Amino acid sequence: MDIQTWTFILVGITFALYIGIAIWARAASTGEFYVAGGGVHPVANGMATAADWMSAASFISMAGIISFIGYDGGVYLMGWTGGYVLLALCLAPYLRKFGKFTVPDFIGDRYYSQTARMVAVFCAIFVSFTYVAGQMRGVGVVFSRFLEVDINMGIIIGMCIVFFYAVMGGMKGITYTQVAQYCVLIFAFMVPAIFTSIMMTGNPVPQLGFGGTLADGSGTYLLDKVDGLSAELGFNQYTDGSKSMVDVFFITAALMVGTAGLPHVIIRFFTVPKVRDARISAGWALIFIAILYTTAPAVAAFARVNMIDSINGPDMKGVAAEQAPGWVTNWEKTGLVKWEDKNGDGRMFYSGDERNEMDINRDIIVLASPELANLPNWVVALLAAGGLAAALSTAAGLLLVISTSVAHDLLKKGFKPNMTDKQELLAARLSAVGAVIAAGYMGINPPGFVAQVVAFAFGLAASSFFPAIILGIFYKKMNKEGAIAGMIAGIAFTTAYIVFFKFINPELNTPENWWFGISPEGIGTLGMILNFVVAIAVNKVTAETPQEVQDMVESIRYPKGAGEATHH
């Protein structure tokens, strides 16, 4: 069977499964819509968290970035994984004990202020939109290749599907759908990785194959081969970085801290019965995430070697256009791979200097990797199902954050305090509809490739939420004026810096023009430092925090009668 038939079968089966689960787990109350009724098993919650967390950026883009820029792509690996540890240890258990549905809910109550709540709502919606645009783009990339439609049509199809199960099932439907999506995405990522590893290095464990020698009997290490190809073809050295130490540090920190401030990941810890379960499910999630994250660099290196070999041929002179490898012709239809015959010899050639004739989009590497390694068609289709699972699971979690922020925090806790449960549920569903449409629009007109857009979302989360949450938990004297001033200063500065270098003056986006050599991807760390400084400075010159709020913070950190989590 051809790739398209396999894709329809495998994607069809997985979608039927997700929609079946969404119908089975329909949300009947706001408690179920927001936090799945708070009764999810820690292992299941760990899987759902991992799926929620590993978005299209992790599944589709991360190995793509590492494949193209080598060592420098490692910042995404370190930042995203490190941030998860920070979240699990420093924030999850305390927020769970606080017993609120959303991050703005925590900030509004902890800082005893409607204004603080509204600033937090704005930040949550802003961060989630930036992030969900990247997911929609990922969905479009997958659909455009495998349904052979235009990328914008692919995004519209994706919008319809996400809309269906986010609006129906709420958090309860999404949680169990995400457990299924985790199983699909990890299976889809690992099967081609294991096959390719056996073919190229003779080792069935991709993580070991990555550091091993090639199976052709030459005794050459895989990474040496990649480095040799890179040098010969004018690319940067694969195992050497070109970024400055300062920038690597700032990007990694922004990704770490941004992870710990991501509203759709934090909300997952409210779906388990007890505080202890929040810690356990965080541990499980870390294991589930590590499986994919330790495999990604191997997939990137395998794909890199196969890609260069398949375009340039064994003698590195290029292949004739009429004998172009199948993956090139397949992806050319989507516009994500382009060939321009510069020297008129009718041969394709791929290099990092002026000889290059290929324009290859980074986001296709993982999806094209089975075709690059000549694996069977069903493996290619399986990967398509996995990419969709990754993008859809995160998109659904983000849409839920947007809809709860609007319904629960803006309306119920703000403009319409006497709403009934039923009206609040309706408002949450309607705002999810608006969010899907807006996210689709941003996916069709994206501000960058998937992982870059997502990196900005992390910078914005780092500069707005993280300091307010950390100070709220660990500094009981922090008052509302300080928190509000800090959040506004942090997010305004970070947004301005990104917009200036990315949209207003992109030609100035070079290391010599950046402040202290920090790129727009890493500026969230500086925004976070600014947030802390402003918050503490304003706190010193304004009224003291009321005693009952200080006592409440104390009781979260030093529990009386620890064990059961309290529900307010």
Residues whose CB is less than 8 angstroms from the CB of residue 331 and which lie 6 or more positions away in sequence, other chains included: 145, 337, 364, 368
**How big is the chain by its Cα radius of gyration, in Å?**
24
DSSP β-ladder status, 319-320 and 347-348:
antiparallel
Q: Could you report the per-residue pLDDT of 55-72, keeping only the tens digit for each?
A: 777 887 788 888 888 888
CA distances (Å), 187 to each of 4, 10, 67, 379, 381, in order? 20, 13, 21, 10, 12
Residue-by-residue DSSP string for 54-75: S-HIIIIIIHHHHHHHGGGGHH
Segment 79-111, tens digit of pLDDT: 878 887 787 777 777 777 777 667 788 888 888
Buried b (16+ CB within 10 A) or exposed e, 288-321: bbeebbebbbbbbbbbbbbbbbbbbbeeeebbee
Asked if residues 147 and 331 have their Cβ atoms less than 8 Å apart, the reply is: no
Kindly report the pTM of this predicted structure: 0.80
Cβ neighbors of 162 (< 8 A, separation 6 or more) are 139, 392, 395, 396, 399, 436
pLDDT in tens, 423-470: 877 887 788 888 888 888 877 776 665 556 677 778 888 898 889 888
Instruction: Copy the structure tokens of residue 132.
Output: 């969900």
Q: Which residues contact 550 (CB under 8 A, 6 or more apart)?
A: 476, 477
Count Cβ atoms within 10 A of the Cβ of residue 322 and give its class: 0-12 exposed, 13-18 middle, 19 or more buried: exposed
DSSP string computed for 18-60 = HHHHHHHT---SHHHHHHGGG---HHHHHHHHHHHHS-HIIII
Instruction: Give the chain's mean pLDDT.
Output: 81
Residue 70 has a CB neighbour count (10 Å cut-off) of 25
**3-class DSSP state for residue 337?**
strand
pLDDT in tens, 361-400: 887 888 888 888 888 889 888 888 888 877 777 777 778 7
